[in-house]
Amino acid sequence: MMFQRDLESLPKDELEALQLRRLQDLCARIYANVPFYQRRFDEIGITPKDIKSLSDIKYLPFTEKQDLRNNYPYGLFAVPKENIVRLHASSGTTGKATVVGYTQRDIDNWANCMARSYASVGLTQKDMLHIAYGYGLFTGGLGAHYGAERLGAVAIPMSGGSTKRQVQLMKDFGATALCCTPSYALYLYEAAKEAGINPLELPLRIGVFGAEPWTENMRHDLEEKLGIKAYNIYGLSEIMGPGVAVECTEGCHGMMHIQEDHFYPEIIDPITGEQLPDGEEGELVITTLTKEGIPLLRYRTRDITSINNIPCACGRTFRRITRLKGRSDDMLIIRGVNVYPSQIESIIIEAEGTAPHYQIVLAKEGALDTVEILIEVAENSFEDTIKALQKREQKIQKTIKEFLGVSTKVRLVEPKSITRTEGKAVHVIDNR
């Protein structure tokens, strides 16, 4: 079922005409209202009127997270503050937060994008959504919430925390869908088992998971443990929040339709900034076509993916991005080899007798990087002898070396010894 059929299945030429009109309007708006953009346009000698086709976008300047920080808090807003009805902010681990302001229309478009996302993974107004993304400045909770209401489903605003109580209420209320990070879904599963609740006996049928990278293996694991279909949803606070892209019931391999009437995607070479054709992997750059509060031109997401333009059986004409491996700034360079934590995760989840809880600890011994990977053993395989454990450690080490080309030290640790998080998981500790 499509939530906005006329828009989600626009023929390509009509979609592109709409995107061009909106891009031209966006350029005019930011040139007139945001001094930062006016300066950028003037510096390169372009005026909004010079944008004659969608491909002209490549001449326009990028926006980076640092630009939001430099203009903290409201410097990039394009409307007077009295037109803003909501603020969100992303904390970021370093530096100042980035602040995002929404007009009423922005909130409305966001609710529509989220309602579309739910419909795209098979949810309807008959569903009850247990929303365990954090409510607050983080966009996850409120984004998921407004979308559920817009769909006409029931929104259960749990937020994070009180994990034990959450599983009890999930059972009592009869939630049919779970919205949270994939790592928190795992935590909820463990809490359910501890409380003597069998997740397979709950009416839960669909998971809408995102906000952090996860793998195909993790999907299978969650689907099996919770007895659900698990879907991937993508978004980022600077652009809107959750609902920028989402999988559909016909899709495969984590490919997500981008809501192209609101967000114009490009893939660029992260080093040269050159646009890359569909199909090639690079950094995702997004232009907000309709946003009023803080419209962003060619925002560099740092997320690495590619755009797939093969028509999808679901009937949506929006192109899809492939599953995100991680952010370019999450990429680890270990003794000269580039590795994403999610690649290590894939191997860990496939290994026998391990739980999908792990931590990658990086350190330096002299000039050399060392990597220790702590992995929890699965509950049922904990009685193994030391020798058997060592053998399993070596086997995982060997697989990592074989597939990723880095030598690591794998240590199997007791079940539940790695700290659980309610939001995004912390998989990497870099002590270098």
Start-to-end C-alpha separation, the chain: 50
Distance of CA 208 to the CA centre of its chain: 11
User: What is the phi-psi region of residue 174: left when phi exceeds 0, alpha when psi lies from -120 to 50, beta otherwise?
Assistant: left
- Cβ closer to ligand DLL: 221 or 303? 303
What DSSP element (H or E) covers 268? strand 263-268
| Minimum CB–partner distance for residue 96 and ligand DLL (Å) | 14
Residue number, nearest CB to ligand DLL:
210
| Minimum CB–partner distance for residue 67 and ligand DLL (Å) | 15
- Cβ closer to ligand DLL: 190 or 212? 212
* Ramachandran angles phi, psi of 223, nearest 5°: -65, -40
Three-class HEC string of 39-60: HHHHHHCCCHHHCCCHHHHHHC
Picking from 328, 346, 228, the residue whose alpha carbon sits closest to that of residue 273 is 328
- Cβ closer to ligand DLL: 131 or 312? 131
Q: What is the C-alpha separation between 362 and 370, in angstroms, rounded?
A: 6
| Minimum CB–partner distance for residue 302 and ligand DLL (Å) | 7
- Cβ closer to ligand DLL: 48 or 341? 341
Picking from 374, 296, 347, the residue whose alpha carbon sits closest to that of residue 106 is 296
* Helix residue spans in 251-337 (DSSP H): none
Provide the token pair at 97: 């937060």
| Minimum CB–partner distance for residue 77 and ligand DLL (Å) | 18
Picking from 282, 418, 290, the residue whose alpha carbon sits closest to that of residue 345 is 418
- Cβ closer to ligand DLL: 41 or 214? 214
What DSSP element (H or E) covers 361? strand 354-365
| Minimum CB–partner distance for residue 405 and ligand DLL (Å) | 23
- Cβ closer to ligand DLL: 68 or 373? 68
- Cβ closer to ligand DLL: 221 or 369? 221
What angle is formed at CA 224 by the lines to CA 220 and CA 225, rounded to 5 degrees? 115
- Cβ closer to ligand DLL: 57 or 218? 218
Give the binding site for ligand DLL (CB under 6 A). 90, 133, 139-140, 210-213, 232-237, 241-242, 301, 303, 324, 327
| Minimum CB–partner distance for residue 293 and ligand DLL (Å) | 15
| Minimum CB–partner distance for residue 234 and ligand DLL (Å) | 4
- Cβ closer to ligand DLL: 48 or 326? 326
| Minimum CB–partner distance for residue 358 and ligand DLL (Å) | 17
- Cβ closer to ligand DLL: 103 or 237? 237
| Minimum CB–partner distance for residue 238 and ligand DLL (Å) | 7
| Cβ count within 10 A of residue 420 | 15
| Minimum CB–partner distance for residue 345 and ligand DLL (Å) | 12
User: Could you give the strand order of the β-sheet that contains 263-268, starting from the edge strand earlier in sequence?
Assistant: 275-276, 263-268, 282-288, 299-305
| Minimum CB–partner distance for residue 140 and ligand DLL (Å) | 4
Provide the token pair at 356: 């999908």
- Cβ closer to ligand DLL: 292 or 303? 303
Q: What is the C-alpha separation between 192 and 197, in angstroms, rounded?
A: 5
* Ramachandran angles phi, psi of 5, nearest 5°: -55, -45
Instruction: Confirm if 289 and 265 have CB atoms less than 8 A apart.
Output: no
Q: Render 88-143 in DSSP notation, one character per residue.
A: EEE--SSS--EEEEEEHHHHHHHHHHHHHHHHHTT--TT-EEEE-SPPSSSHHHHH
Amino acid identity of residue 58, one-letter, is K
